[in-house]
Structure formats: structure tokens, C-alpha cells
Amino acid sequence: VRRNSLQKRFLRAIVPVICLTVALPLSLFEYRDYRKGMDELRTRLHSILRSQSDVAAQALWNVDMERLQLIIRSAAADPDVAGISVLDEDGQTLAGIGKIPAMDRAGDLTGFMEIYFETPEAWEHVGRIVIEMTPARLIARVVEHSALTAILALVVILVICLAVILIFKRTISVPLGTLENAMKAWQQTNVAVPVDWSSDDELGHVVTSFNDMQQRQQEYQQELAYLANLAQKEARIAEER
């Protein structure tokens, strides 16, 4: 029972450390991938804004709503684009598709860009394009990858725990069990049972000390028996005289 309790206490102390050691780097790795994916979405958002503002400028200048709608439909084919809207210079919506982004909700994945058309005389402001990206695919990918990572982490933790248990049994439980059995046998039979264990550590020193103590005790008992026999012989000789 003592050995089991010692092993349980050891596992209660070491398992959280193992879990933290394995889970923390993997969690940081997953978070880094998520932040990298968000940065890529922002980069693509700015790229789409630039390209679509250039393409839409001609259609806005010519008030070609049919072409403008085709342009934003082409851009909305990107699965990471949640919605696009094109506004005139007064802020009125001319065309939109998907989740129409609002200017007052411009956030991390929502951006806008002014649209200018180049005339022979100058650059004319003709409108504004607003695009909102969605992290849905990124989140789904992170969740899927995190599930696989969690399974991998669980396998790694189990393997490490099994290795720790085996090492604990080999280096602590086995010599302690052998020492305990020898002590019980000595208490019950008063016969010395040397512990066959040798290691250059604290436990090895305890085993060596126990063996030395048994040997000294055995030598002392033999000496007492010898003196007792000698005393009996001297007593018999004295009686015979």
C-alpha cells in the first residue's frame, strides 16, 4: 500500500507537469498558425481592395451597373470574402453582394478604399469599395488541426506517463519492494535476508546500510550464541569438579 501511495503521489505531481510541458508549446504553435492565417486574410483584403478599385473605376465612371455587378460577383467568388459593396461619391450603395459590409462597422477584416478614375485632366473621385472578409474557413481549419494536435498531445502524454511509470518502478518501486520484503522477513523470522540491489544513489546507500546492519546484527547474534555456549560449557565443567 505504501508503494502504491508513493507512486500515486508521484504521478499526481508529475502528470500536470508533463501535460503542461506538452500542451503549452502545441497551444502556442496553434495560436501562431491562427495569427498567421489572420495576417494572410488582412493582406488578401488589401490586395482585393486595390485590384477591385482599379477594375471598378471604369464602370463607375461610365455608370455601367451591369459591369459593376459582374466585377463584384467575380471578387465575391473568393470563399473568404463575406461581402462587397460599392458606393458612389455621396456614400449611397450602388451595388452589393453577400453580407453587405457597413462603413461604421469597419474592423479587423473589413476594409474600404476610395475609387478614382483617371481623366486627361485629373483623378476624379467616383466612389468607394468596401469589402469584408470572413475567418470561417480559417477557424474551421484551426479547429480541425487543433483536434488532431490534441489527439497527438494525448498520445505523447500517455507515452511519457507510461515511460515515467516504468522508470519509477525500475528505479524506486523494485528496490523499495525488495527492501520491504527483506525487512518483513527479518522481523518475522529473525533471519537476515540480504537485499540484492546495487546503485550509486541514495536508495542504493540505504540498501547497503540495511545489508550492513543485518550483517552486524547477525555477527552480534553469533557472538552472543558463542558466548552463551562457552558459558554453558564452563558451567558444566565447574559442576563436574
pLDDT of 137 > 90? The answer is: yes
Q: How far is CA 45 from CA 78, 83, 192, in A?
A: 11, 11, 82
Q: How far apart are CA 168 and CA 199, in angstroms?
A: 14
Q: How far apart are CA 166 and CA 7, in angstroms?
A: 11
| Range in 33-37, 194-198, 223-227 the model is least confident about | 194-198
Cα 58-59-62 angle, rounded to 5 deg: 85
**Comparing C-alpha atoms, which of 159, 172, 168 is closest to residue 18?**
159
Q: How far apart are CA 233 and CA 226, in angstroms?
A: 11
pLDDT of 105 > 60? The answer is: no
- Report the pLDDT value the prediction gives residue 236, as an integer from 0 to 100: 79
How much is the average pLDDT of 129-155? 92
- Report the pLDDT value the prediction gives residue 131, as an integer from 0 to 100: 93
- Report the pLDDT value the prediction gives residue 50, as an integer from 0 to 100: 94
Q: How far apart are CA 236 and CA 234, in angstroms?
A: 5
Confidence of residue 42 (pLDDT cuts 50, 70, 90): very high
- Report the pLDDT value the prediction gives residue 107, as an integer from 0 to 100: 66
E-assigned strand segments in 88-161: 93-98, 110-118, 123-133
Angle between helix 136-168 and 2-61 (nearest 10): 160
Angle between helix 174-189 and 2-61 (nearest 10): 160
Q: How far is CA 193 from CA 181, 183, 216, 221, in A?
A: 9, 8, 13, 15
Q: How far apart are CA 14 and CA 16, in angstroms?
A: 6
Confidence of residue 2 (pLDDT cuts 50, 70, 90): very low
Confidence of residue 4 (pLDDT cuts 50, 70, 90): low
Top pLDDT among 23 and 217 is at 23
pLDDT of 118 > 80? The answer is: yes
Top pLDDT among 27 and 192 is at 27
- Report the pLDDT value the prediction gives residue 155, as an integer from 0 to 100: 94
**Rounded mean pLDDT of the chain?**
86
H-helix or E-strand containing 47? helix 2-61
Say what percent of the chain tops pLDDT 90: 44
Confidence of residue 104 (pLDDT cuts 50, 70, 90): low
Q: What is the pLDDT of residues 205-225, one digit of tens each?
A: 888 888 888 888 878 878 888
H-helix or E-strand containing 86? strand 81-87
Task: Tell how strand 81-87 and strand 110-118 pair up.
Answer: unpaired
Is residue 129 within 8 Å of residue 115, measured between CB atoms?
Answer: yes
Top pLDDT among 141 and 201 is at 141
- Report the pLDDT value the prediction gives residue 113, as an integer from 0 to 100: 92
Top pLDDT among 122 and 215 is at 122
